[in-house]
Amino acid sequence: MKYIPTIGIECHVQLSTKTKLFSEVDNDARGKEPNSCVSPVDYALPGMLPRLNGEAIKFAIRAGKAMNCKINAHSRFDRKHYFYPDSPKGYQITQFYQPIIGAGHVELPSGTKIHIEHAHLEGDAGKLTHFDNYSLVDLNRVDTPLIEIVSMPDIHSAKDAHDYCKELWRLMCFAGVTNGDLYNGNMRFDVNTSIAPEGSDKLGTRTEVKNLNSFRSVERAVEYEIARQTKILEAGEKVVQQTLGWNDATGKTTAQRSKEEAKDYRYMPEPDLPPINLSKEFTEKEAAKLPPMPADYRKKFGNVISGDTLEVLLDYPALMKKLDEVCSEYVKSMSNLFASVLLAEEKSAEYLNDLPSAKDLNELCEMNEKKELSSTATKEVFLRLFDPQMKNRGAKNIAKELGLIQENDLGALEAIIDTVLQKPETKKAQEDYKNGEEKVIGFLVGQVMKESHGKANPSAVQEILRKKLK
């Protein structure tokens, strides 16, 4: 029997606000000592009250708009109770009843639309490290603002699950609401998978794989679950609804300790935080700050840049923004330089933080188009534009200083060619060419290049030579 998988994904995105969601403490704990970014509020000391970060509201509006979602005019916070050492309060502040972000959709590169059920703001938990007979708690991450994005069960293949997660990552990076550092868990995915016989109108029993932190592991975990569940059903047995963990090394899911049921969380309205009531003007003003999204770039550049190159570049918001700034006639050659030269560089990550000006890039493309720079020389000047020692001099000056400008001036070229043709050592080659030996043209071009100290444009030289030797 053929089974159709149905997948829904919950994604947690860490927001890159300066401070935490409920306290005025540094939200960027990267490279900092454990428990060094913690306040009495994070410790939940008696009498401490949460103080809502207004910037997180603005980030949520932008994130919601990036996913074509409705922004709810009224939202509020709730307490979700659970007892675990990663949460000193004994509960998580989240939005259970009235989330800030309503329904919307994300369009995958393939054109498939995945619907968003809702997304809400909440505080993250602390980090636990387990040892043989004790665990250590670092509260730096407590109440880092998160947006939890809940998709509809709209996904029907492991590949689409992968593409959806990747597109979400891009949307959040383009919207500028997260650092998007997957390695450090800035985005984490919980994946619900079930399978049902083709044509069935009922969904099968689902399992939830928690805490995946790469697109690849999402894809692999879904593939594994589809295969595992298919085997169970084909053996005439039943899939057990459970929470699973993913082991990247073994490529298998394993059962985790059973968590509480929803009612065990004893949700209640958070009494310490007044509701959020957004005016239409406020929401529209924030939404207007949303820069162009991947879908906008696909529309704009889809006919200019090859699909593969475009999808590679869409992983880098800074590059797309820069491409949008250069002259439209140079977008194609620039996109190739970005994809095949810049991203191939060892230091590309560093370079991305400080891209050359659009003026320099336009100048570079113009020189290349006018054949003042060969393609090799164009690449060289392009890379020099990232060199801290040279970049401020501008593309044109760099090309001149490096002696890379090709001689295109026909008069000057002809003079050089005439000099070469006068030389006795080229006489035989000239004779051979006239007698039909095509190949020797290469030798003559080489002589001219030598005479011009490499600055002549070889194709122009060849053309003139052919005319002269007719």
Which amino acid would we find at residue 110? S
Classify the C-alpha dihedral 452-458-459-461 as positive or negative: positive
For 120, list phi and psi in degrees, rounded to 5: -135, 160
Query: Minimum Å distance from CB 187 to other proteins?
Result: 21
Query: Minimum Å distance from CB 120 to other proteins?
Result: 16
Query: Minimum Å distance from CB 140 to other proteins?
Result: 10
Residue 30, classed as helix, strand or coil, is: coil
Nearer to other proteins, 106 or 172 (CB): 172
Q: Which residues contact 191 (CB under 8 A, 6 or more apart)?
A: 7, 8, 9, 161, 208, 209, 212, 218, 221, 222, 225
Nearer to other proteins, 41 or 364 (CB): 41
Contact range with other proteins by CB under 8 A, out of 77-85, 206-214, 349-357, 364-372: 77-85
Nearer to other proteins, 91 or 330 (CB): 91
What is the DSSP pairing of strand 104-107 with strand 207-212? unpaired
Nearer to other proteins, 129 or 340 (CB): 129
Tell me which of 184, 200, 247, 277 binds other proteins, using CB under 8 A: 277
Tell me which of 4, 10, 26, 228 binds other proteins, using CB under 8 A: 26
Tell me which of 3, 35, 196, 287 binds other proteins, using CB under 8 A: 35
| Ranges within 126-155 binding other proteins (CB under 8 A) | 128-139
Question: What is the distance of C-alpha 96 from the center of its chain?
Answer: 29
Distance CA 441, CA 418 (A): 15
Nearer to other proteins, 40 or 307 (CB): 40
Q: Does 418 bind other proteins (CB under 8 A)?
A: no
Q: Does 281 bind other proteins (CB under 8 A)?
A: no
Tell me which residue of 212, 111, 97, 192 sits closest to 150, measured CA to CA.
192
Nearer to other proteins, 82 or 443 (CB): 82
Distance CA 206, CA 142 (A): 30
Distance CA 470, CA 465 (A): 9
Distance CA 399, CA 406 (A): 10
Contact range with other proteins by CB under 8 A, out of 272-280, 322-330, 381-389, 424-432: 272-280
Query: Minimum Å distance from CB 277 to other proteins?
Result: 5
Nearer to other proteins, 8 or 88 (CB): 88
Is 376 in contact with 341 (CB distance < 8 Å)?
A: no
Contact range with other proteins by CB under 8 A, out of 65-73, 75-83, 160-168, 435-443: 75-83
- Torsion angle defined by CA atoms of residues 388, 389, 392 and 395, in that order, rounded to the nearest 10 degrees: -100
Q: Does 85 bind other proteins (CB under 8 A)?
A: yes
Distance CA 233, CA 240 (A): 11
Which residues sit at the interface with other proteins, rule CB under 8 A? 17-19, 24-26, 33-36, 38-40, 43, 45, 51-57, 76, 81-85, 90, 128-139, 257, 260, 264, 266, 269, 271, 273-277
